[in-house]
Amino acid sequence: MKKFLSVILCGVLVLTAACAFAEEFTNTSGKKMDIRIISKSFNNQFYQAAFKGAADAAAKLGVEVTTNGPDMETNTSQQVEQVKAAVNAKPDAIVLAACDTASLEETLEAAKEAGIPVIGFDSGVPGDTTGAVLATAATDNVNAGGNVAVNLIADPAFQKAILKGTEKAPTVLAILAQDATSGSIVLRVDGFITKALAALEALEGLAGHVSVSGQERWTKPSANAEKVKIVVVVPPSSSAADIQAASKTIFAMDNLVGVFAANQDAVNGVISATNDGTDLDRADGIYKDIFVAGFDSGTSQREAIKDGQFLGSVTQDPYQMGYQAVGLAVRAANKEAVSDVDTGSKWYNAKNIDNPDIAILLYD
């Protein structure tokens, strides 16, 4: 376990993003609360960034947080014991990203009976039936997917390429989704398509000329003859081989201009299908004129962005997940009303990837 005490103020944070939220929370009781935070995997970079946000929120609010988590996300039994221990310690609140909600049902019921509010963060506690979980600080995946679309289509070079589409030879913007059932991925694709349609149809000559196809859920014919096609591709399974094969199908499409890889596995599939990204080289790659945008921030993706093979990507904001979750926990412990918080997402590219406020959000 690792304890963070209240020692610094938002004004001295390197992470200016935290300051934007700082006035949302106050500790109205003035009590130095005990808040227990349990992640899905303690040493994961994503959760370490969340713990940093939690520590800074604790600093502002004058409370103490104790962080914990299993050695890996699959170690459900270890997390169950950690949550039980947290409940038995009778803290003022618990912040939790559950490995498996069903395994925690009895423990969450005990928390509710003891009057200990539970706040979810990141994936939260999906499907909780106990009523112990009062709110969750997490990414709004619709907004995050939309963030990718807005930044991709705002790029002048991409606009120039997509506008080459004609009724006889429409240009193509493809979406590679790992599957069509995962809640977070479906919502990202929802958000991407909504924003992409709006942004593309706002470009000169494209109003009513953009269609969506490839998967029934998202199919939307264009009002007039299509000049741009948004095509959603979903592999038959989420295996690396099937994702790579689906990626190759995308890059074989005529008049392909752009690709959105909706999660890290999809990104890896794109990189594998393009000769470890070298085929996307902007100078002499065979796909040098194709603009790729990703989601999340694994090592291979970060390198592709630095090398110019990817235009950019959207990362979730684990720092704000931790920061906001502690704020919600303090409110809940003070018997104040709480509700879910969208912790936002950030677009990053070769220009800002090394900025301190972005770098801390990048995880494997």
Q: What is the pLDDT of residue 350?
A: 97
Q: What is the pLDDT of residue 18?
A: 38
Contact 169, 254 (CB under 8 A): yes
Q: What is the pLDDT of residue 180?
A: 86
Distance separating alpha carbons of residues 115 and 124, to the nearest angstrom: 19
Low-confidence ranges of the chain (pLDDT < 50): 2-23
Helix, coil or strand: residue 174: strand
Superfamily of domain 2-139+317-345: Response regulator (3.40.50.2300)
pLDDT tens string 147-175: 999 999 999 999 999 999 999 999 999 99
Q: What is the pLDDT of residue 170?
A: 98
CATH architecture of 141-315: 3-Layer(aba) Sandwich (3.40)
Beta strand pairing call for 171-176 and 345-348 = unpaired
Q: What is the pLDDT of residue 364?
A: 81
Q: What is the pLDDT of residue 19?
A: 38
Q: Where are the domains of the chain?
A: 2-139+317-345, 141-315
pLDDT tens string 50-93: 999 999 999 999 999 999 999 999 999 999 999 999 999 999 99
Q: What is the pLDDT of residue 17?
A: 39
Nearest by Cα to 219 from 262, 189, 181: 189
Q: What is the pLDDT of residue 45?
A: 87
C-alpha distances in angstroms, 196 versus 89, 150, 218, 297, 347?
Answer: 49, 7, 13, 22, 15
H/E segment holding residue 260: strand 256-261
Q: What is the pLDDT of residue 6?
A: 33
Residue type, 46: F
Q: What is the pLDDT of residue 20?
A: 40
Q: What is the pLDDT of residue 319?
A: 95
Contact 67, 18 (CB under 8 A): no
